Structure 1
Amino acid sequence: MQLEKTPTREAVAGPVKSAARALDLLDEIAAHGPGTQLQLSTRLQIPKSSLHALLRTMTARGWLQTDPTGSVYQLGIHSLVVSSAYLDGDPVLARAKAVMDEVAAATEETVHVGRLDGADVIYTAKRESVHPLRMHSAVGRRLPAYSTSLGRAIMAEMPEPARHELVPDSIAALTPHTTTDKDAVLTIIDQASVHGYAVESEESCMGVRCFGVALPFARPALDALSVAVPISRLDGGREDFIIETLLSVKAKVAVMHDNSMVR
């Protein structure tokens, strides 16, 4: 009788490489936009011959689609279907809806929820401002966590060594006002830890100041809520009111979490 061979690590890893390439392709187009087969091959360092079959398969399954010329590839409708299913099924976002509605009603400004993903924060939910002048942003947008109030609020809940790991030595400016010195960013996050909320002024969007607090639905907190306000509307004690509203909501969420843990 011939014994069956145990699959080697290389054999097991073989199919994963194809899956990784498919995911890399989705990430690349999501981050840097559509491209032709040649452009995507260059951007991803994948041979054109290997990429051709991958593009054909993903287009047939709806993950990708082409422009009218059939030569430029972009994300397909199935990417939206899966993204929507993620948002609908996420338990934190389900719990955050009432919190977002409360803050949006009180402030009448743009409200975001974001989640830490590596050194970035991704917008996972949004409530629009009632005012015509508002911050232009979208669910799914990814920004460096250390340059946003959302990311800074989350990092402020972490031990100092973890903060150091998430703030790079070299920081690329998103706007002329972005803080690009690592020590200065860490000092800002330290202050957020002391005060319980984080602030970012025109560092990710010109003309807008954002205030953020961590949402302690879990420990450690990986989600945060922010209010984005055009600086022109921050007068007459409005900034203090927004901060007080956020701190009140944060305290309420913390109590809810602690009570749920006791049960």
Structure 2
Amino acid sequence: MQENSGVRGVKSASRTVALLELLATRGDRPARLDELGVPRSSMYQLLRTLTDCDWVRTDTAGSLYGIGIRALHTGTSYLDSDPHVRAVRPCLDEASDAPGETVRLARLDGPDVVCLATRESHEYLRTISRVGRRIPAHAGALGKALPAEHPDDRLPLPRGPLRPRTENTHTECTTLLADLAGVRERGYSIDREETVEGIVGFGFALRYDSPAVDAINCSVPVARLSAEHEARVVAVMRETRTKIGSALPPASGAPDWR
């Protein structure tokens, strides 16, 4: 953990957070003790404590470990306590019903965007929209809508090469910067199969923060995307962005989260 404002990080707390994040990234692949990269003696005691508190779960033999149900409770509390998420959810329902497509809300988190809410299309079901899913901010409509709110010399992007999701993902800064210039001019981002093959997305930054940290998007299968349907989707999403701005509660008294 890096020092922040002169306060030294607590080693045991840093180790706990790192362990939980590691287990969370493994999904349905539980970890053995020797796969955690920490001395067995100290890690066993930490795992025992976290298991007793339901932050970690283990199998009956006590040899495999995975993320526990308490993590779900905490994540749900984050969503339920956020006034922006609460205001956006009903607007997503309307936005999804109008063109019949999948819409979602995401938030910028370092070099990625994280999905906070989603409404799936009734026409097709995909697993790309689940809440908590992370997508690189240089790939996809949700991602590009938010970096475009920053000047080019302060883009929230990782150092080094940009990793691809499909053969259409930007992997060079020069092409990404040209795309972001188009986003600023157009007022929304377009993802033409950059995140998932066969899917086109349209992203709109929500400017209740400056610079914006939240965005909404609508995803459409290429097979259903005519020029008329694209124009309809863009119009609905523009209107939805305006509705969200009107639906937000007054900001007075709300914490200024970092």
The equivalent residue for 2:92 is: 100
* Matched residue count: 246
Answer whether contact 1:145 1:151 (CA < 8 A) is retained.
yes
What is the aligned counterpart of 2:191 among 196, 200, 212? 200
The equivalent residue for 1:147 is: 139
Q: Secondary structure at the match of 1:108?
A: coil
CA distance in 1, matches of 2:197, 2:81: 33
Q: Using the TM superposition, give the Cα deviation of residue 96 of structure 1 relative to its aligned residue in structure 2, in angstroms.
A: 0.8
Q: Which runs of 5+ in 2 are unaligned?
A: 253-258
Q: Secondary structure at the match of 1:180?
A: coil
CA distance in 2, matches of 1:245, 1:232: 20
What is the aligned counterpart of 1:37 among 33, 36, 46? 33
Cα shift readout 1:95-121 (whole Å, capped 9, x = no counterpart): 111221221121211111000000100
Instruction: Give me the identity figure in percent.
Output: 36
Q: Secondary structure at the match of 1:224?
A: strand
The equivalent residue for 1:227 is: 218
Answer whether contact 2:115 2:130 (CA < 8 A) is retained.
yes
Q: Secondary structure at the match of 1:170?
A: coil
Which residue type is aligned with residue 197 of structure 1?
Y
Q: Using the TM superposition, give the Cα deviation of residue 158 of structure 1 relative to its aligned residue in structure 2, in angstroms.
A: 1.6
Further displaced range: 173-182 or 116-125: 173-182
Which residue type is aligned with residue 202 of structure 2?
F
What is the aligned counterpart of 1:177 among 168, 181, 186? 168
Answer whether contact 2:83 2:248 (CA < 8 A) is retained.
no
Q: Secondary structure at the match of 2:219?
A: strand
**1:112-261 to 2 correspondence within 5 Å?**
112-134=104-126, 136-163=128-155, 165-166=156-157, 168-235=159-226, 237-254=228-245
CA distance in 2, matches of 1:260, 1:18: 36
Which residue type is aligned with residue 114 of structure 1?
A
What is the aligned counterpart of 1:63 among 55, 61, 75? 55
Which residue type is aligned with residue 145 of structure 2?
A
Q: Structure 1 or 2: larger helix share?
A: 1
Further displaced range: 153-162 or 128-137: 128-137
CA distance in 2, matches of 1:15, 1:166: 25
TM-score of the pair, normalised by structure 1:
0.85
CA distance in 2, matches of 1:100, 1:222: 17
Answer whether contact 2:148 2:184 (CA < 8 A) is retained.
yes
Which residue type is aligned with residue 36 of structure 2?
L
> Could you say if the C-alpha distance between residues 68 and 13 of structure 1 is closer, same or farther in structure 2, counting changes exceeding 3 Å?
farther
Q: Using the TM superposition, give the Cα deviation of residue 47 of structure 1 relative to its aligned residue in structure 2, in angstroms.
A: 1.7
The equivalent residue for 1:4 is: none
Which residue type is aligned with residue 29 of structure 1?
L
Cα shift readout 1:223-250 (whole Å, capped 9, x = no counterpart): 0001111111102510111112112222
Over the residues paired in the alignment, what is the CA RMSD in angstroms? 2.4
TM-score of the pair, normalised by structure 2:
0.87
2:8 is the counterpart of 1:17? no
Q: Using the TM superposition, give the Cα deviation of residue 14 of structure 1 relative to its aligned residue in structure 2, in angstroms.
A: 8.0
Work out which of the two has the higher radius of gyration on C-alpha atoms and give 1 or 2. Answer: 1
Q: Using the TM superposition, give the Cα deviation of residue 256 of structure 1 relative to its aligned residue in structure 2, in angstroms.
A: 6.2
Answer whether contact 1:119 1:144 (CA < 8 A) is retained.
yes
> Could you say if the C-alpha distance between residues 26 and 67 of structure 1 is closer, same or farther in structure 2, counting changes exceeding 3 Å?
same
